[in-house]
Amino acid sequence: MKARTLSIIIFGLIFTLANGCGGSGGSPGRYAIPGDVPTATTTGTGTAIGTTDPDALLASAWQDFQYGAYSSAISKFNQVLTLSNVSASQKADANNGLGWSNTKSTGLESGYNFFSQAASSNDEARIGLASAIIRRGQKSGFTQAVTLLEQVGLVNTSFRFQSTHSIGVSNAEAHALLAFAYFWRGGVGDQDKARSQISTARTEDGSSDSSVAQIYKTLQDMGLTGI
């Protein structure tokens, strides 16, 4: 139990790229003031961004997200959800954006409900939801996390995850995440699956100080052999 608890603590540090502030607590310094960052007033086609164009508002929200203006992005993603002409896919994109914006601002747990709203159709949200579930460290959650990550396509080690938006999760990190989930699910054949996934991740990212390296070391410390 002590080893398992240690592993979960380590993993919470690993995903600082997703947490934004390295933990569940927020930090005012993580919120960029919207007026301090470039923001678009038109779309790529020159159409003015208004309150009734979901695609234009989503594009503006994701641009704010890219610049680190998370509070502004959150406001715009929420605004998308209030529009009467918003489609199911646009709602999913807005909830995914809310998930990552809140995650970057205050930690994975704050993105959980939003990721849950989008995970049925959005791979980025599946990655986010799986990360949030794994961070909780509950045995039953690892099965759900594996399912989500397999739905993305990561079960195939030759599959390459490429995010649509700059959420900060690489293909190697996504495969390493699945390796971690397989290991802790602990089903028949899961250790072999974990070996395959972490080997794929390390082939692409062999650095000694990345999140992939930390997951690799954690798996070694927790008893995964042959890696």
- CA dihedral 211→215→218→222, nearest 10 degrees, is 170
The SS3 assignment for 51 reads coil
Tokens of 116: 């849950």
Class level of CATH domain 2-25+107-221: mainly alpha
What CA–CA distance (Å, rounded) separates 178 from 143? 11
What pLDDT shows up at residue 4?
A: 53
What lies within 8 Å, CB to CB, of 62 at 6+ separation is 73, 97, 165
pTM: 0.82
Partners of residue 48 on adjacent β-strands: 42
Confirm if 167 and 202 have CB atoms less than 8 A apart.
no
Parts of the chain with a pLDDT under 70: 1-50
pLDDT reported for residue 44: 38
Residue 39, token pair as written in the block:
């923001």
d(CA 95, CA 205): 30
Question: What is the predicted pLDDT for the residue at 118?
Answer: 98
- Picking from 125, 118, 126, 226, the residue whose alpha carbon sits closest to that of residue 178 is 126
Q: What is the pLDDT of residues 82-135, one digit of tens each?
A: 999 999 999 999 999 999 999 999 888 999 999 999 999 999 999 999 999 988
Sorted by where each begins, the domain ranges of the chain are 2-25+107-221, 28-87
Give residue 31's region: left, alpha or beta (phi > 0; psi -120 to 50): beta
Rounded to an integer, what distance in angstroms lies between the CA atom of residue 9 and that of residue 148? 22
Nearest to 200 by CA among 149, 124, 138: 149
Q: What is the pLDDT of residue 209?
A: 85
pLDDT at 18: 54
pLDDT at residue 150 in the model: 98
